[in-house]
C-alpha cells in the first residue's frame, strides 16, 4: 500500500494518476478537500481510502495506520509563498512532516517528501543539492523556511540516509487549477492570452535583468512525477535531490512558448511588482541536476515549448489529469 499526502493537490493528484496508470489502486489519499476544483483532481482516480489530513495525523500519532505500507509520498503542505503566519507553517509544514517522518522511520517505511527550491533563497550560494549549500541557504519567505527547517532537521538527525527529499523548482501543469495565487504564470496568463492575445509580466527591479528576462527553472509536472516514481522504484536510494530541468528560461521565453502554442504573435506588457514581493523575489533559479543523474535518473526532461504545448491542450478543454 502507498500513502499519498496532498493526494488531491497539484503534484500529488498527478502522482496518483500515474500510479493508477501503472495499475496501482492500493492507495490511501490524504488531503483537505476544501475546494471543488481540488475535488475534481480526484475524479476518475482509483484508491482504497481517503483520509482528512487531521484524521490521518491522529492515526499516525496513535499508531493505527495499516501495517502493510510500502511508501509514504508526502506532498501535502501549505505552499503559499506570501502567507505571514509563521505558527501555521511550523505546525502544518514542519511539525506535521516530522510526525510522519518519525512514524516512517520507526516502521521502516520508505519516505519521499516534497522540499522546495524556495529553500535556496536568492541563490547567492548556488543551487547544488549538497549539505554544504543546504546549510548556507537563507530562504526569502516563511514557506521556504519551513521546508529548510525540515531538511536541516532530517539532516541533523541522520535521517537522510533513508529518506528522499525533493527540491521542486517551478512546477507547472494540469491539476493546479485550485491553487489561486500560487498557480503558475502559464495558467494565470492563459485566459487573457487566448482571448485578447496579451500577457502581463512583472517588471524587473534588478540592474542585471531587463523586464521579462528574469530566469527560472520551469519543469512540467509530468517530469516531476517521473522523478518521484523513480525513487519509489529505487528504495535503496536516499538523500536530497533537485527536481528541475537544469536549464533556466526567461519569463519572456515562457510567454513566447505560450503564444506559439496558441498560434498568436507575442504581445507582452510589463507591470509593477507588488511591494511585498520585491525584496523576496528570486531573479534566477537553475537546478544543478548532477546528483540526480549520478543516482541513475537518465530520462530527458521536456523542453519548455513541448511542455507548454501539451499543457495548453488540457487548458483548452478544461481537463484534469
Could you give the residue numbers annotated as active site? 143, 179
**192: nearest Cα among 269, 122, 139:** 269
The answer to whether residues 130 and 182 touch, using CB atoms and an 8 Å cutoff, is no
Q: b/e string for 49-59 if b means 16 or more Cβ within 10 A? A: ebbeeeebbee
Give alpha helix (H) positions in 109-184. 131-136, 142-157
**113: nearest Cα among 239, 26, 286:** 239
Give the separation between CA 18 and CA 2, rounded to whole angstroms.
13
The set of residues, in sequence order, having a beta carbon less than 8 Å from that of 165 and lying 6+ positions away, is 113, 114, 115, 150, 151, 154, 239, 240, 241
The answer to whether residues 105 and 114 touch, using CB atoms and an 8 Å cutoff, is no
Amino acid at each position: 500500500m502507498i500513502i499519498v499526502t496532498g493526494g488531491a493537490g497539484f503534484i500529488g493528484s498527478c502522482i496518483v494518476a500515474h500510479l493508477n496508470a501503472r495499475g496501482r489502486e492500493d492507495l490511501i489519499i490524504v488531503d483537505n478537500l476544501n475546494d471543488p476544483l481540488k475535488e475534481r483532481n480526484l475524479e476518475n482516480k482509483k484508491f482504497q481510502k481517503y483520509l482528512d489530513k487531521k484524521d490521518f495525523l491522529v492515526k499516525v500519532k496513535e499508531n493505527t495506520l495499516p501495517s502493510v505500507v510500502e511508501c509514504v509520498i508526502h506532498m501535502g503542505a501549505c505552499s503559499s509563498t506570501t502567507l505571514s503566519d509563521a505558527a501555521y507553517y511550523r505546525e502544518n509544514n514542519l511539525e506535521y512532516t516530522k510526525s510522519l517522518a518519525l512514524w516512517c522511520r520507526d516502521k521502516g517505511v520508505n519516505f519521499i517528501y516534497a522540499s522546495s527550491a524556495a529553500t535556496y533563497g536568492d541563490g547567492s550560494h548556488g543551487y547544488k543539492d549538497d549539505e554544504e549549500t543546504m546549510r548556507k541557504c537563507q530562504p526569502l519567505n516563511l514557506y521556504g523556511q519551513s521546508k529548510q527547517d525540515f531538511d536541516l532537521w532530517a539532516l541533523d538527525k541522520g535521517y537522510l540516509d533513508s529518506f528522499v527529499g525533493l527540491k521542486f523548482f517551478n512546477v507547472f501543469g494540469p491539476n493546479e487549477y485550485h491553487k489561486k495565487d500560487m498557480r503558475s504564470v502559464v495558467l494565470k496568463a492563459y485566459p487573457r492570452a487566448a482571448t485578447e492575445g496579451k500577457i502581463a509580466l512583472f517588471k524587473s527591479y534588478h540592474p542585471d535583468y531587463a523586464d521579462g528576462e528574469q530566469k527560472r527553472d520551469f519543469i512540467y509536472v509530468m517530469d516531476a512525477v517521473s522523478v518521484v516514481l523513480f525513487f519509489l522504484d529505487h528504495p535503496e536510494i536516499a538523500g536530497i535531490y533537485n527536481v528541475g530541468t537544469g536549464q533556466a528560461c526567461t519569463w519572456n521565453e515562457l510567454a513566447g512558448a505560450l503564444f506559439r502554442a496558441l498560434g498568436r504573435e507575442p504581445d507582452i506588457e510589463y507591470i509593477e511588482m507588488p511591494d511585498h514581493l520585491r525584496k523576496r523575489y528570486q531573479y534566477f533559479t537553475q537546478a544543478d541536476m548532477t546528483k540526480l543523474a549520478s543516482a541513475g535518473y537518465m530520462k530527458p526532461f521536456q523542453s519548455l515549448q513541448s511542455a507548454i504545448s501539451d499543457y495548453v491542450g488540457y487548458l483548452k478543454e478544461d481537463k484534469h489529469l
